[in-house]
Amino acid sequence: MGKNLSIATISLLLVLASTNAQQVFDVKSYGAQPNADITQALTKAWKAACAVAGSKVVISAGVYKLGLVTLLGPCKGAIEFNLQGTLEAPLDVASFNGKDAWVFFQYIDGLTVSGGGVFDGKGQQAWQRNTCNKDKNCNILPFNIRFDYVTNSIVQGITSKDSKFFHINLFECKKLQLQHVTITTPGDSPNTDGIHIGHSSQINITNANIGTGDDCISIGDGSQDITVNQVTCGPGHGISIGSLGRYQNEQPVSGIRVIGATLSNTDNGVRIKTWPSSTSGVASDIHFENVIMNNVANPIIIDQNYCPNNQCSNQSPSKVKINNVSFKKISGTSSTKEAVNLICSKSVPCQQVVLSDIDLAYKGGGGSATSTCANVQPAVSGKQNPPACTNKL
């Protein structure tokens, strides 16, 4: 016991020593003032902090204007971005010069983003100009926060508000945790996905509260070993794998677990979506469990004919192979009669799909909830409300 205690004590002392050794770079020391533009001050503070092993950039309480900024690594050691105040993005999209991110963290190992502050994307004007729901070749608007090639890192306690496009985007990230993150935009704000993950692995999202105008969480190609735990979603389009199959050379998606989510008044629940006339792909080892639906349209859905606003060709079935998928302990209320909708590809039917302990009530008129299946024969266990595959296409 004594030996264990001494090891624990030594470990704690080492942690405290490293914490005390953390060098602080306050943006006010670089000329930052509340209610003024701090782009240059933040850029200078970050550059100085990045050159030191064990550093912390601090933006204290207050409201600050911030232009687009790239916070670039690699740094000498672990670095913390501590936002206690509110950052406000430029209103005018033109000021971004076609760049797709407002605050961009890139090539960093050992990043902490913390402080309880707010990234306010000021997206209201941009939403009115968004044409992406009609034009698949539309200009991409800026994400609030983008993480590229960020590893062994944690994002905790921050708020992303009113992003012009996606709120938080992960690309080529590994071993990144997002904890107690709040994302908020109106339900009618287009393409404001809460957290989008692509080409990333070992990502954990825990205790997030997301309300948005698109998917609360969307998981794109190349995503491996993603865990989503205790997330609340609404408004929004639900939690989605995909869309997949739209572009050439997409990477497989596997090892996705969504556990303990609550979705309220969303356009979809838990969803896998792939495009018809698609390139080949694979989505496997995907599991949804302990999910509560409150007045959700399409609570459980596999849609391999995903084609929003007829932006695609329906001439051939999807070639994305879906297998080893489970929906377990999913309960609550559906705002549509079709509570379970498993529409798989005629070309590559879904395999190893499990429905277990499903209890979804429909409160509207015209009878009780139904379940529709196409090109899939799910394994069924436990309660089934509605009965599995009431309608077969």
What are 269-309's pLDDT values in tens digits?
Answer: 999 999 998 889 999 999 999 999 999 999 999 999 998 87
Q: Which of 148, 162, 214, 285 is catalytic?
A: 214
Q: How far, in Å, CA of 169 to CA of 150, rounded?
A: 11
Expressed in percent and rounded to 5, the helix, strand and coil fractions of the chain are: 10, 45, 40
Average pLDDT, rounded, for the chain: 93
Judged by average pLDDT, the poorest of 17-31, 166-180, 275-289, 365-379 is 17-31
Assess whether pLDDT exceeds 50 at residue 1. Answer: no
Interior/surface letters 20-59, b for 16+ CB within 10 angstroms, e for the rest: eebeebebeebebeeeeebeebbbbbbeebbeeebbbbbb
Structure tokens at 169: 């985007």
Residue 13, pLDDT > 90, answer: no
CATH superfamily of the 215-393 domain: Single-stranded right-handed beta-helix, Pectin lyase-like (2.160.20.10)
DSSP secondary structure string for all residues of 33-65: -TTSB-HHHHHHHHHHHHTSSSEEEEE-SSEEE
Say which of 215, 237, 267, 303 is annotated catalytic.
237
120-133: average pLDDT: 90
The domain 18-133+143-157+168-190 having CATH identifier 1.10.10.10: the answer here is no
- Which sign does the torsion angle of CA 119, 21, 151, 39 carry? positive
Show Cβ contacts of residue 379 under 8 Å, excluding neighbours closer than 6 positions: 352, 353, 354, 355
Taking only the tens place, the pLDDT of each residue in 139-175 is 789 999 999 999 999 999 999 999 999 999 999 999 9
> Does the pLDDT at position 68 exceed 50?
yes
Cα distances from 47 to residues 27, 59, 84, 347, in angstroms, run: 11, 15, 20, 52
Q: What are the tokens at 253?
A: 């998606």
Residue 90 has pLDDT above 90, yes or no: yes
For CATH 2.160.20.10, the residue range(s) in the chain are 18-133+143-157+168-190, 215-393
CB 328 within 8 A of CB 288: yes
Highest mean pLDDT: which of 1-5, 265-269, 276-280? 265-269
Task: Indicate if 237 belongs to the active site.
Answer: yes
Q: Looking at per-residue confidence, does 315 or 290 come out higher?
A: 290
Burial grade of 359 (CB within 10 A; 0-12, 13-18, 19 or more): middle
Name the band, by pLDDT with cuts 50, 70 and 90, for residue 6.
low
pLDDT of residue 278: 83
Q: Measured between alpha carbons, how far is 127 from 48 in angstroms, rounded to an integer? A: 36
Share of the chain above pLDDT 70, in %: 94
Task: Between 21 and 43, name the one with better pLDDT.
Answer: 43
Q: How far apart are the C-alpha atoms of 260 and 71, rounded to whole Å?
A: 34
- Residue 16: pLDDT above 60? no
Residue 17's pLDDT is 43
Residue 5 has pLDDT above 60, yes or no: no
User: Is residue 15 predicted with pLDDT exceeding 70?
Assistant: no
